[in-house]
Chain A
Amino acid sequence: MANLIATPPFGDTLPVTVGATTITERPIERAASVAPFAGRAKAVSAALKQAIGLGLTGPGEWAAKGEASVIWFGRDTWLVIGAEVPESLQADAAVTDQSDAWACLRIDGPQAEAALARLVPLDLRAAAFGTGRTARSLIGHMSASITRAGGQGYDLMVMRSMARTLAHEVAEALQSVAARGA
């Protein structure tokens, strides 16, 4: 198959740098949602662990190994990024390709937390939302996945059609926070 030139979901809206805080695109080359059928979560977790080295995580948790990550993505649903989900899993779970369905950006730096406090109705401070945590919540009016990326960073995901709105809202919040500090 021809290797086509990818069009990034955020267009030219990213990257954005304000002081020491940056907003950058996190390209998703491969992603799939995995929703185990009733009573099959344990079997799916074991099969996934054998295939990619990661099982299903608990609610509000995510895990990574090498290029692969598994993110809790809502009720009985997980998102597997950066690894191929084995076809055999389809006997026990609804597996749906999400590769171009979601867009992801990372906001990282000393003002990331303060910028997100303007947009997200959650306590995202390290004490409440530290390493390994993820959440489904709202960013402004958008349904989103919010993940602690380590250190001061957060990975934010929305449906791809809202990518530029996400970049715009996060950049604006960051600029407002920075302006108050100046």
Chain B
Amino acid sequence: MRLTCPLCGERDRREFYYGGDAMALERPAPDAGDVAWNDYVHLRDNPAGATRDLWYHDGGCGTWLVVERDTLTHAIAKVTPASEVAR
């Protein structure tokens, strides 16, 4: 697998560290309640198809990325800096 970092260009998978589901960027409000927080902390989908994950370019420029990818075809649809998503 190769990811195209917006700063570095196309790079080998070994340069990246997996950071889990990109829903981590959608932090609930402190008073959102137990259900929302339980969902945020513990519950993850396991889709056969489109996923949205965080990857860290640690063997490169140090940018956190949101990678949209398909778990069935391994096709990568989009790579966006997490700083642009989580503003």
Contact = CB atoms under 8 A, between A and B. Distances in A.
Contacts, number: 37
Tell me whether chain A's interface is mostly helix, strand or loop, or mixed: loop
Most chain A C-beta atoms within 10 Å of own C-beta, residue among B9, B58, B59: B59
Interface stretch (A17-25, A81-89, A136-144, A158-166): A136-144
Contact of B58 (A59, A60, A122, A143): A143
Interface in A90-138: 121-122, 135-138
Contacts of B57: 75
B11 A121 contact: yes
B59 A143 contact: yes
Nearest to B9: A60
Interface of B: 7-9, 11-12, 14-15, 57-63
Interface of A: 59-60, 74-75, 77, 121-122, 135-138, 143
11 contacts: A74-B61, A74-B62, A121-B11, A121-B12, A121-B14, A136-B61, A136-B62, A137-B11, A138-B14, A138-B59, A143-B58
